[in-house]
Amino acid sequence: MMRDETTAANIRACAESRHLDDAHTEKWLAMLTPSRLALLDYAERLKLRTGQLAAAIDLLDEIEVREGIAPAQILARDDLRRICTNNGSTPWRAAAFIEALRKIRFPRLQIAIDRLESEIAALRLPASIAVVLPKDLGSDELMIRISVRTGDELEKALEVLAEKKPALMRMVKMIGGDDTE
Amino acid sequence: MKFDLDDIYIEDTCRESALTKRIVARADIPVHFVEDGRVAARPRLDAVDSFAAGKRRLVIMRRRSPFLMACPAGSAKFACCGYLVLTLASNCPMDCSYCFLQEYVADNPGFQIYANYDDAFAELDKLIASTPARHFRVGTGELADSLAMDSLTGLSIELVNFFAARENLTLELKTKTDEIDNLLAVDPKGKVLVSWTLSPRRVFEACEHRTAPPSARIEAAKRVLESGYRVAFHLDPMIAYPDAERDYLALMDELFSAISPAKISFLSMGGLRMTAGLRAAARRRFPKDAMLLGEDVLAEDGRYRTFAPMRIRLYKILADKFKAAGAAVPSYLCMETASVHERVFGAPPSHPAAAGERLATIR
């Protein structure tokens, strides 16, 4: 497929207006015409900011190498198209678009996070206790935060934790590689 | 295995060294003499890929810094195997897409071999004289492959003879080649370990350019084992691609069917980890290598690693395989925290000195 040089000026203008660095601009321009046009469409409709546009270019490139799927095909997915047309604010939709690309780029991470988050939700913890997952599951450390002001509150929080111990232990194991599939 | 070189640069002070004479006699390529080898090792600004160009430029020079050092991968943050590194060369003729040298020697990518390696032997003798009660495992395969250029340098013969004559030193020659002919000609007297990095065939094909195929590495290990060497294997880096569990287990089946687990001194594991700089360099040099694009996230140590549950799961599956192999194969993790070590092996890691001693003396 030939690259359409007529789109180059539009892409350069879009990149320039966002002060996109040269490396990302060149990577965008190196995409085949359907892909670079599709990204231009998203960039304009969602008013992607510089960092978002750079992230989108990187994620699309990485998905293409990993899955062998061209950016145009990825950007044609229904779940991504819907983000452009739903009712949220433009900044919210832009953030949702990047998040959706990340989910495609990191499919198994997303499954692991979803499972752990549903375990946390099932705990039905009081507001005084929070179970915090490490960012992107980058470590095996599970943080359990207790926020109290009085002895009574502490007593209650500790009772809840004792009651939830089996479920919490299961989460500690999950984050350590047990039952992640 | 033979690797292509374009030129040899010889530092003036090394003209008469035995190593220089051996290499010049065996390599039929242009020779240049330079005052300072460090200058010849610098990146060539006119090269499209100065790191790759450096691999083809052999620089025989004097090493100015100590030869012996603690393993650069060691850190208080990680469980550590107590490995000591003897740097006899820097850079490597093979070209693995994930190799840390792409960042580590980016400022001096010339393939350096140090002619004053007698100084290394003196450092080792000083070490064992200062701590006679300890036993050290010393390896030459950190900044270079231990055997890749051995047909040219013949260094392995001197190394094996040196270590064979010393009670409390064990040499580890770490390689991805099947370059073992020199080893078969000398008697290690039980003091030399030869270790291979092993990867499934898919990783080998995608990433490990110009290395020997995994089956050839295993075959070479079998041969040195029969010649009195101890053998060990490093599953490092382990890459958690979608079929990794199946492929790593199959690789272990292949290994254990060729070499009895009881005869393997140890197995190490380490997940692929890349600093942002290494990741950028590797992606620039190998933009189509999907193995570099696993589900890697920024970990606590500032490196990109496969997210923790998936990485630890792969370790555990392999650790279980080692345990079930008939004879429990001693094993350790490289550059992982004590908590990960405990999750995988069910016990906290040993102190580095104790781990080093144990790995040095295991039969």
A140–B343 CB contact, under 8 Å = yes
Domain range summary for chain A, segments of one domain joined by +: 6-105, 107-175
Residue of A66, A107, A177 lying closest to B309 (CB–CB): A177
| pLDDT score for A1 | 44
Residue labelled with tokens 């983000």: A83
CA distance B99 to B92: 10
| A42, A101 contact by CB (below 8 A) | no
Percent of chain A with pLDDT over 70: 95
SS3 at position A128: coil
Query: How does residue B201 score in pLDDT terms, banded at 50, 70 and 90?
Result: very high
Phi, psi dihedral angles at B171 (to 5 degrees): -95, 135
Asked whether the predicted pLDDT for residue B118 surpasses 60, the reply is yes
| B337, B77 contact by CB (below 8 A) | yes
| pLDDT score for A13 | 94
| pLDDT score for A180 | 44
In chain B, which residues have their Cβ closer than 8 Å to the Cβ of A138? 297-300, 305, 307-308
Q: Which residues pair with A117 in a beta bridge?
A: none
- The first and second tokens of residue A95, run together, are 């953030």
Task: Measure A150 CA to nearest chain B CA, in Å.
Answer: 33
Mutate to test the interface with B, among A59, A61, A63, A137 (most CBs of B within 10 A): A137
In chain B, which residues have their Cβ closer than 8 Å to the Cβ of A27? none
CA distance B20 to B59: 10
* HEC string for chain B: CCCCCCEEEEEHHHCCCHHHHHHHHHCCCCEEEECCHHHHCCCCCCCCCHHHHHHCEEEEECCCCCCEEECCCCCCCCCCCCCEEECCEECCCCEECCCCHHHHCCCCCCEEEECCCHHHHHHHHHHHHHCCCCCEEEECCCCCCCCCCHHHHCHHHHHHHHHHCCCCEEEEEEECCCCCHHHHCCCCCCCEEEEEECCCHHHHHHHEECCCCHHHHHHHHHHHHHCCCEEEEEEEEECCCCCHHHHHHHHHHHHHHHCCHHHEEEEEEEECEECHHHHHHHHHHCCCCHHHCCCEEECCCCCEEECHHHHHHHHHHHHHHHHCCCCCCCEEECCCCHHHHHHHHCCCCCCHHHHHHHHHHCC
Query: How does residue B219 score in pLDDT terms, banded at 50, 70 and 90?
Result: very high
Sign, Cα dihedral of A95, A97, A100, A105: negative
| A44, A15 contact by CB (below 8 A) | no
Asked whether the predicted pLDDT for residue B84 surpasses 80, the reply is yes
A177–B316 CB contact, under 8 Å = yes
Domain range summary for chain B, segments of one domain joined by +: 62-361
CA distance B219 to B225: 10
The region that residue A19 occupies, defined by phi over 0 for left and psi between -120 and 50 for alpha, beta otherwise, is: left
Q: 0.90 cut: is pTM over it? A: yes
| B146, B86 contact by CB (below 8 A) | no
Task: Measure A87 CA to nearest chain B CA, in Å.
Answer: 31
pLDDT, averaged across chain A: 93
In chain B, which residues have their Cβ closer than 8 Å to the Cβ of A141? 300, 339
Estimate to the nearest angstrom the gap between the alpha carbon of A59 and the chain centroid: 10
A138–B343 CB contact, under 8 Å = no
| pLDDT score for B363 | 67
Q: What are the angstrom distances between the C-alpha of B161 and each of B113, B118, B149, B170, B300? A: 19, 13, 18, 12, 43
B297–A141 CB contact, under 8 Å = no
Asked whether the predicted pLDDT for residue B353 surpasses 80, the reply is no
| pLDDT score for B352 | 77
A138–B290 CB contact, under 8 Å = no
Class of the CATH domain delimited by B62-361: alpha beta
A140–B297 CB contact, under 8 Å = no
Residue A149 belongs to what H/E stretch?
A: none
SS3 at position A49: coil
Phi, psi dihedral angles at B122 (to 5 degrees): -65, -40
Q: Which residues pair with B33 in a beta bridge?
A: B10
CA distance A180 to B34: 57
Q: Which residues of A touch B (CB under 8 A)?
A: 62, 65-66, 106-109, 112, 134-141, 174-178, 180-181
| B71, B142 contact by CB (below 8 A) | yes
A135–B308 CB contact, under 8 Å = no
Asked whether the predicted pLDDT for residue B181 surpasses 60, the reply is yes
A137–B316 CB contact, under 8 Å = no
CA distance B289 to B316: 26
Task: Measure B28 CA to nearest chain A CA, in Å.
Answer: 40
CA distance A21 to A19: 6
CA distance B151 to B169: 24
| A143, A129 contact by CB (below 8 A) | no
In chain A, which residues have their Cβ closer than 8 Å to the Cβ of B337? 139-140
CA distance A180 to A109: 10
Tens digits of residue pLDDT in B250-273: 999 999 999 999 999 999 999 999
* B78-107 mean pLDDT: 93
CA angle B318, B319, B322 (to 5 degrees): 90
CA distance A99 to A79: 11
Tens digits of residue pLDDT in B123-169: 999 999 999 889 999 999 999 999 999 999 999 999 999 999 999 99
| pLDDT score for B1 | 57
Task: Measure A140 CA to nearest chain B CA, in Å.
Answer: 6
Asked whether the predicted pLDDT for residue B280 surpasses 70, the reply is yes
Of A35-39, A164-168, B290-294, B329-333, minimum mean pLDDT range: B329-333
In chain B, which residues have their Cβ closer than 8 Å to the Cβ of A62? 293
* A2-30 mean pLDDT: 88
Tens digits of residue pLDDT in B303-316: 999 999 999 999 99
| B160, B171 contact by CB (below 8 A) | yes
Q: With the CA atoms of B154, B159, B162 and B165 taken in that order, what torsion angle do they form, in degrees rounded to the nearest 10?
A: -110
Tens digits of residue pLDDT in A130-170: 999 999 999 999 999 999 999 999 999 999 999 999 999 99
In chain A, which residues have their Cβ closer than 8 Å to the Cβ of B287? 65
Cis ω for the linkage preceding B213 (within 30 of 0): no
Asked whether the predicted pLDDT for residue A97 surpasses 80, the reply is yes
Quick one: DSSP state of residue A87?
S
Within 10 angstroms of residue A9's Cβ, the number of other Cβ atoms is: 9
| pLDDT score for A4 | 67
* A20-35 mean pLDDT: 95
SS3 at position A54: helix
